[in-house]
Amino acid sequence: MNRSEVTEFKTLFIDLNDRSSDNTISHSMTEIKNSGYTKVNLEVKTSTEQETIKMRVDMDLFRRIKEVQDLPDWVIIKLILADGKLKDSSFKERISNG
């Protein structure tokens, strides 16, 4: 199963800190299997705020980039996290020598 073959069937929101979620997951998986489905695509989604806290992203920098560039939040987070990663990678030489 690849992304082009995926059709959304059901959305289930789960609080991993709530122990009763285990029963919800089990019931939902049984229901999906009994409906004839054999594969499930699990996507983990979170809020931008949670990700910036977890990754220790500088919120002032995030907000300034957001105001100036008007980029999607995930692009800004990846941009901030990539800071300096290409410095010693000879990236400049590789792209300029074509």
The string of pLDDT tens digits covering residues 51-87 is 777 778 788 888 888 899 888 888 888 888 887 666 6
- What is the separation of C-alpha 43 from the centre of its chain, rounded to a whole number of angstroms? 8
pLDDT at 82: 81
Whether 19 shows a pLDDT value over 60: the answer reads yes
- Segment 12-18 shows an average pLDDT of 82
Other beta carbons within 10 angstroms of residue 79's beta carbon come to 14
pLDDT at 34: 92
